[in-house]
Amino acid sequence: MDHTALELLELGALFFGLGLLGRLAARIGMSPIPLYLLGGLAFGQGGLFPLGDIGDFTSLAGEVGVVLLLLLLGLEYTAQELITGLKRSWMAGVADIVLNSAPGAAVALILGWGPVGALVMAGVTYISSSGIVAKVLSDLGRLGNRETPVVLSILVFEDLVMALYLPILTALLIGVSFFGGLAAVGISLTVITVVLVVALRYGRFVSAIVDSPDREVFLLKVLGAALLVAGFASAMQVSAAVGAFLLGIAISGSTAENATKLLEPLRDLFAAVFFVVFGLNTDPRSIPPVLGWAVALAVVTSLTKIATGWWAARRVGIGPLGRARAGAALVARGEFSIVIAGLAVGYAAVDDELAALATAYVLIMAVLGPVAARFVEPLARRLRRTPKQTPAALASSSG
C-alpha cells in the first residue's frame, strides 16, 4: 500500500478511535484521560495493534497539545487573580507541596531512580488535575459552594509552582551544571515577574495585539503567538509549557474569553493526541511490575490531598461537609502529571519504569478523583448520622 495512504488510514483510525473513547467516557461520566492512555498502550510498542507510520506527526501534535493545555489554563486567570490566590492560599499551598510530593519522591528513591527521578515523581504525585477538578465541580453543581474558592486557590498556587518547577526540572534533565540550573531558575523568575507586571499594567495592549473581529485571523494570531512564545521559552531553557501559560495570563478580558471558546476544540484534539502519544511510548508489559507501587501511591496521595483540602477549608471557617468536599475535589491527577513524566521520558534521563508507574498512577487517580468527589458528601453525611455506640447501647442491643 502507498505510504501516504497508510499514514492517512492510521491517522483516521486514531482520531476516530479517540472520538469513540471520548463518547464512552462521557456516557459513563468520567474523564477521558484514562481511556486515551489505554488507547495509546493498545496501539504502541508492545500493544495489540502497533502503529508505526505516524510517529513524527503524533509527537509534534502532542507537543502542540501541551502548549494549548497550558495556554488555556493561563487564559482562565488574570494576573490579579493569581496574586490574590497566592496571598490567600500560600500556607495551604506549602502544606500541599510537602504532603503530596513526598510520597512520589520517596518511592522513586526506594526504586533507585536517583534525585532526578525523585524530583520527577514528586511533581507527578503533587499536582492535581485542574481540568478534571473544574469539570467535576461543574458537573456536580458546586461552583457556587463556599469551599470552591479554597479549591481554586490551591489549584492556582499549584500552577504557579509549576511555572518554577518545570524550568528547574528541564535544566536537570538536560544535565546542566549547578550554576546553569541557578541561571535557569533566575531566568524563570525574571520571566514570570515581567509577565505579571506586563499583564497587570499593559494587559489590554497584549490583548489588542492578538485580538481580531475575524475568527480566522484571531485563531491564527493566538495560535501563532502561543507557538512562538513556547518555542522562544524552550530555546531559553524555560519550559515551552510555562511560556504558553504566561502568555495566557497576559491576555485578558473579552479577548481571553473569545480565545478560550475558539481554542477549546483544538486543545481537546491535540491534548487527546498527547495522552495517546504518552501511552504509545509506554510498553504495557512494564506496568505490572510497578502496579503495586501505583496503587500504594494512589491510596497515600488520595489521603494527603483530602487532608490538604480539609485543613485549607477549616482555616476559613468551613464546616465538616465542605471540608470533605474540598479535599475530595483535589484528589484527581491527570494532564500535568503526564506532562511532567513525558518531559522526563523525552530527555531519556530517567528509568524506563518511571513512565509505566506514572501511567498506572494517573490511570487510577483520573478515575478515583471524580468518584471520590461524587461520593464523599453522601458518605460524610452517613457517618455523621451514625449514632455513637456506647457500652450501654451495645449491651442493650446484644440483649
Q: Which whole number is the average pLDDT over 142-150?
A: 81
Residue 14 has pLDDT above 90, yes or no: no
pLDDT of residue 398: 40
The closest alpha carbon to 244, from 61, 48, 397, 65, belongs to 65
CB 127 within 8 Å of CB 163: no
Higher-confidence position of 331 and 135: 331
CA dist list (Å): 90 to 54, 67, 83, 84, 107: 44, 26, 10, 10, 26
Name the least confident of 51-55, 151-155, 340-344, 346-350. Answer: 51-55
Residue 53 has pLDDT above 70, yes or no: no
pLDDT, tens only, 130-143: 777 877 777 777 87
The closest alpha carbon to 96, from 290, 329, 321, belongs to 329
CB 343 within 8 Å of CB 170: yes
Residue count of the chain, please give it. Answer: 399
Grid coordinates 530555546 are at which residue?
235
Name the least confident of 76-90, 155-169, 248-262, 381-395. Answer: 381-395
Higher-confidence position of 62 and 95: 95
246: exposed, middle or buried (C-beta count within 10 Å: 0-12, 13-18, 19+)? buried
Higher-confidence position of 2 and 20: 20
Give percent above pLDDT 90 in the chain: 19
CA dist list (Å): 297 to 31, 90, 101, 155, 331: 20, 25, 11, 20, 12
26: exposed, middle or buried (C-beta count within 10 Å: 0-12, 13-18, 19+)? exposed
pLDDT of residue 299: 96
CA distance 359 to 294: 9
Confidence class of residue 291 from pLDDT cuts 50, 70 and 90? very high
For the chain, the first-to-last Cα distance in angstroms comes to 81
Q: What is the 3-state secondary structure of the chain? A: CCHHHHHHHHHHHHHHHHHHHHHHHHHHCCCCHHHHHHHHHHHCCCCCCCCCCCHHHHHHHHHHHHHHHHHHHHHCCCHHHHHHHHHHHHHHHHHHHHHHHHHHHHHHHHCCCHHHHHHHHHHHHHCCCHHHHHHHHHHCCCCCCCCHHHHHHHHHHHHHHHHHHHHHHHHHHCCCCHHHHHHHHHHHHHHHHHHHHHHHHHHHHHHHHHCCCCHHHHHHHHHHHHHHHHHHHHHCCCCHHHHHHHHHHHCCHHHHHHHHHHHHHHHHHHHHHHHHHHHHCCCHHHCHHHHHHHHHHHHHHHHHHHHHHHHHHHHCCCCHHHHHHHHHHCCCCCHHHHHHHHHHHHCCCCCHHHHHHHHHHHHHHHHHHHHHHHHHHHHHHHHHHCCCCCHHHHHHHHC
The closest alpha carbon to 210, from 263, 267, 159, 251, belongs to 251
**Would you say domain 56-384 falls under CATH 1.20.1530.20?**
yes
pLDDT of residue 156: 76
Confidence class of residue 178 from pLDDT cuts 50, 70 and 90? low
Identify which of 232-236, 340-344, 384-388 has the greatest average pLDDT: 340-344
- CA quadruple 172, 175, 178, 181: dihedral, nearest 10: -50
